[in-house]
Amino acid sequence: MRVSGLLHLAAVLSLAVAVEAVKREDFKTCEQSAFCLRHRRFAEEIAQAPGWPSGGGGSGSGSGLSARSASPYSVVDGSVRLEQHTLVALVSHKDDQVPLRFEVSFLASGTVRVRAQEEEPLAPRFDDTQRYTLRDEGRALPYALLEDLRLTSTTAGGAAVHTVNYTTTTGDGAGALSVRITERPWSLTLLRNDKPAIQLNSRGFFRFEHLRSKPDGDVPDGEWEETFRTWTDSKPRGPESFGLDVSFAGCQHVYGIPEHASPLSLKSTRGGAKDAYDQPYRLYNLDVFEYEIDNPMALYGSVPLMLAHSAEATTGVLWLNAAETWVDVAHEKTSTIGSLFRREEPAVVTHWISEAGVMDVFLFPGPGVPDVYKQYAELVEQTPLPRDFALGHHQSRWNYLDEADVLSINDRMHEHDIPYDVVWLDIEYTDGKRYFTWDAAKFPAPAAMQDRLARDGHQLVVVIDPHIKRDPEYRVWAEANDRGFFVKTADGAGNFQGWCWPGDSAWIDYFNPDAARWLGEQYGLAKFNGSTASLFVWNDMNEPSVFNGPEISMDKDLQHHGGWEHRAVHNLYGMLYHQATANGLRARQSPALRPFVLSRAYFAGSQRYGAIWTGDNAADWAHLRASVPMILSNNVAGMHFAGADVGGFFGNPDAKLLTRWYQLGVWYPFFRAHAHIDTKRREPWLMGEPYLTHIRDAIRERYRLLPYWYTLFREASLTGMPLVRPMWVEFPGEKSLFAEDKTFMVGPAIMVAPVTDPDPMLPVEVVFPLQENWYDMKTHEMYNGPLTRQISAGLGDMLVFARGGSIIPTRERRRRSATLMRRDPFTLYVYVGRTGTASGKLYVDDGESYDYEGGAFIERELSFAKARLVSRPSARTASPPSAAQAAFSKRMAAVRIERVVVVGLRNPLTRATIRENGDERTVELGYRGAKVDAECVIRDPAVRIGNDWEIVLS
């Protein structure tokens, strides 16, 4: 804002406080990040067009197999050889003598890994991202056996081409995969059934800045020093960035690379398409105040995983790099030489640019969505099973003032019959923002307060941030300081000092394993005064946020353990902190109980340590809408346990917006209401009626469906599949749904169409896909897909539909918290599909320990066909049962199915015969709900959840 003249002074003063928008100037554009600009310009030169791929003929428009780019990089003659599971090649630029060593490795699952760096780098490049991200630190990846790989080399059109054919254990494509490497210029294509799926450097954008000595005299701008606003990055290592184009042939949609407040299907950032961004998507964890919607700016977390999808196949790419990374995306039509005529085939071309580290790229061939997640999860692991309470309703505010305030939230929740599990404390509970301490005036007896909450099954979460107040009297600072655990200045001589909530602070360096362990120890119940086993943790500000640093973060030339620059590790910092906390909580009890830690910053692998959320959103309808694609994108990228602040962090939602937000928020995997300190209080009972009732109803629906959610988490923990799913994940052949990001699926069985408009009369367009029945979960009204309907939703209504053919487990007793439901009976809903069948799963364990790893769980496959409902043990249930499993089954022996509701029966039936443990008994059937006469209720079959049983309707 620029205002001059005295007359405007008053306006300046009043407007200055009213402005609410991201301060764009605080954050870099690609043009302000020298390496990004260098690579982007290079790409334009290669494509011979500014803002490729606007065409203009030349090499840019042909990326088919036989087309050649203008890339100056080629494979060194005779350097290609196969060693074990790895194909090695040297690649060099035509104008220099610095060969790059390429390693192309093959995993048994079909995944291809491509690594590149100088054959003999002047100094080591940071290569530990794999250690922090990959399963078992990446030491024992399931590589393919040499005998499964066949290398053939040919010459085509004067250029040597090497092809590796290999077999895979994934999907239906065994034996159909191959990787083709062209020597001059180099390019790599992953083919399925001889059709290109993923191509590297087909556009020739590959550019690798080898490490070099600083030249005497003038150096190019931005290579050895770079200034942004008032901060100067000393860049002692000089330029070391690299970029690569990755193309997805036959695809029109790519997804993932969170976190951005942008649509699910990534938009073009190149090529001048209508509605395109002019900046690449940026991956650099940042604390962005009041972020903008529909913008590729970097936000709090980064997961460099991208999925590409077409009706034929799904593939993926993991760009394993934790330095600042930019990704350009262009959707284009590519001409391919067909048998007789040219035809247009779409492709998405992406250009990945990272500032430091080694190039390490994983290509996931799919071909199905579950295959891609299997391939990703075998590398980066799945989301573990959370504590049961973590799936409940979380109530937070910056800040609940004191013990009385916290307990009054608890009491009001009970008084208004709103189930909830966790109440949260933001930074003000501490003694002067010294984490691990309590403000003694406001929280004189925190343990007693937690015990009071725990009596009714409630937990407390407190925020613990990574900045440590510089105060010699503060034990945590003094200990970390004595042991040298802080991040160091650029010269390595002293501790980096910056500003955050407590004022002058230092930051623990989690790259030092001793420091990470020490931080974990601070969570010991004896160490953290006032903590109990029902206290859990929220790690905020871990991008890291530094108020007086460049882009509100750390200077890139700061030194971490091992002498590595912050530049190379930035995006890992938040995850390592998250990990240290989760490990600390896990270690505070023996036997260990599952931790719960929420983090704001994240990276690929953070899903292993807890939940994340979309940071500081705002109380407006646009942010409500944006939460869906943001959470879906996170789920697409394996960050399953994700949520957005219900109600919006900044600003005051009106009662209507808040109601709608709860109605959507109960379908977020992580469901927390939170608010900024400047906002009005907005706990549900403050909204009055009818809002309170609507909000309570929505929250009760969440609790009713907790068994379904928990079962979904179980599946995700084994398969890596998202919890909340874009429509295309469930309907991979329905092209019209590929960009859909308003409606989404919760697991395979529930479709949610959020109401995100203030006008309740404005109908929501709901697409019921496939030849399947869909049932309104509240009224059980049936919709026959494929069908598009405009549905108006009254303020009390959620548009949520069960997919025909599903069996959904619920618990319908009204308890105060999830943990008080552990012994409750279940109600099964059988939504009969068009073929008269349905199936589902039910998973139950103790909700807190790791005993399930030893088999202490009940997992049932439920199926309904020919009017017969059967419960069988899952394939993962050991037979005969392990001791742990038997013990757990005994513990759950009293837990029964109290009701089965069968929806969508065509013929009225009157009797149910129940067979369990050789017994047979009969119960009558009731019908309820005058409107829908096809809703049949089996009254109290009383079958035990751990038993095999069947119910036959006649």
Partner 1 sequence: MRIARVGLLLAAAAAPSWAVRGMDPALAARYVAVDGQFACLDGSARIPFERVNDDYCDCADGSDEPGTSACANGTFYCANAGHRPGVLAAGRVNDGVCDYDVCCDGTDEWDSGAQCADRCGEIGARARAHEAQARAERAAGSARLAALVRGARALRARKERALAEKQRALDAGAATLAAAEARRDAAEQREQARAGRRRDAVARVAAARLRDVAAYRALVAAEARALHAHRAALAQLLRGVARGRNPDFNDAAAAAAAARYDDLAATRPRAVADDDVAAAPGDDEPADIEACCAAASRAAADRDAADEDAALLLQALRALRDGYNRNYHDLAVKAAVEALAPLEADRARAQAAAAQARAAADFAALELRVAEARAELAAIAPPPDADANDDDDVGSDAQAARAALWDLQAQQRSAQADADALRTLLHDTDLGPRDMYLAVRGDCHELDAGEYRYEVCLLDRAAQVETRAAGGSPARQSLGSFAGFGADHTVHRYAGGSRCWNGPERSLTASFVCAANVSVLAVSEPEKCEYHARIAGPFACDLPSEEEEDAADDDVVVMETTTTTTTVPDVAHDEL
Q: Which residues bind partner 1 (CB under 8 A)?
A: 3-6, 8-9, 12-13, 16-17, 23, 230, 401-402, 404-405, 417, 441, 455-457, 499, 503, 547-549, 677-681, 812-816, 820, 823-825, 898-899, 939-940
- Secondary structure of 814-878 in HEC code, one letter for each residue: CCCCHHHHCCCCEEEEEECCCCCCEEEEEEECCCCECHHHHCCCEEEEEEEECCEEEEEECCCCC
CA distance 109 to 371: 9
Q: Catalytic: which of 360, 388, 509, 616?
A: 616
Minimum CB–partner distance for residue 840 and partner 1 (Å)? 22
Residues in Cβ contact with 831 at an 8 Å cutoff, skipping those fewer than 6 apart: 749, 773, 775, 802, 803, 804, 805, 806, 807, 808, 838, 903, 904
CA distance 404 to 381: 42
Minimum CB–partner distance for residue 892 and partner 1 (Å)? 13
Closest CA to 550 of 298, 718, 319: 298
Place of tokens 């059109």: 157
Minimum CB–partner distance for residue 411 and partner 1 (Å)? 10
Which of helix, strand or coil describes residue 131?
Answer: helix
Minimum CB–partner distance for residue 841 and partner 1 (Å)? 25
CA distance 168 to 177: 8
Q: Catalytic: which of 371, 540, 697, 797?
A: 540
Minimum CB–partner distance for residue 790 and partner 1 (Å)? 33
- When the beta carbons of 499 and 850 are compared against partner 1, the nearer one is 499
Residues in Cβ contact with 340 at an 8 Å cutoff, skipping those fewer than 6 apart: none
- When the beta carbons of 237 and 816 are compared against partner 1, the nearer one is 816
301 strand-pairing partners: 602
924 strand-pairing partners: 911
Place of tokens 């500032």: 355
Q: Among this protein's residues, is 411 annotated catalytic?
A: no
CA distance 942 to 947: 11
* CB neighbourhood size of 908 (10 A): 10
Minimum CB–partner distance for residue 777 and partner 1 (Å)? 17
Minimum CB–partner distance for residue 266 and partner 1 (Å)? 31
Minimum CB–partner distance for residue 287 and partner 1 (Å)? 13
- When the beta carbons of 74 and 505 are compared against partner 1, the nearer one is 505
Minimum CB–partner distance for residue 201 and partner 1 (Å)? 41
Give strand ranges (E) for 467-599. 467-469, 498-500, 503-507, 535-539, 597-599
Residues in Cβ contact with 261 at an 8 Å cutoff, skipping those fewer than 6 apart: 291, 292, 293, 294, 295, 297, 299, 614, 626, 630
- When the beta carbons of 312 and 405 are compared against partner 1, the nearer one is 405
Closest CA to 365 of 130, 106, 639: 106
Q: H/E element holding 629?
A: helix 621-636
Query: Residue 428 has what DSSP assignment?
Result: G
807 strand-pairing partners: 830
Minimum CB–partner distance for residue 465 and partner 1 (Å)? 16
772 strand-pairing partners: none
- When the beta carbons of 23 and 343 are compared against partner 1, the nearer one is 23
For residue 824, report the phi and psi dihedrals to the nearest 5 degrees. Answer: -75, 150
- When the beta carbons of 417 and 781 are compared against partner 1, the nearer one is 417
Place of tokens 């704001």: 600
Peptide bond into 399 cis (omega under 30): yes
Residues in Cβ contact with 766 at an 8 Å cutoff, skipping those fewer than 6 apart: 743, 751, 753, 783, 788, 789, 790, 791, 799, 801
- When the beta carbons of 409 and 601 are compared against partner 1, the nearer one is 409
116 strand-pairing partners: 102, 359
User: What tokens does 692 get?
Assistant: 């309170």
* CB neighbourhood size of 848 (10 A): 18
Q: Among this protein's residues, is 540 annotated catalytic?
A: yes
CA distance 568 to 557: 9
Q: Which residues are catalytic?
A: 540, 616
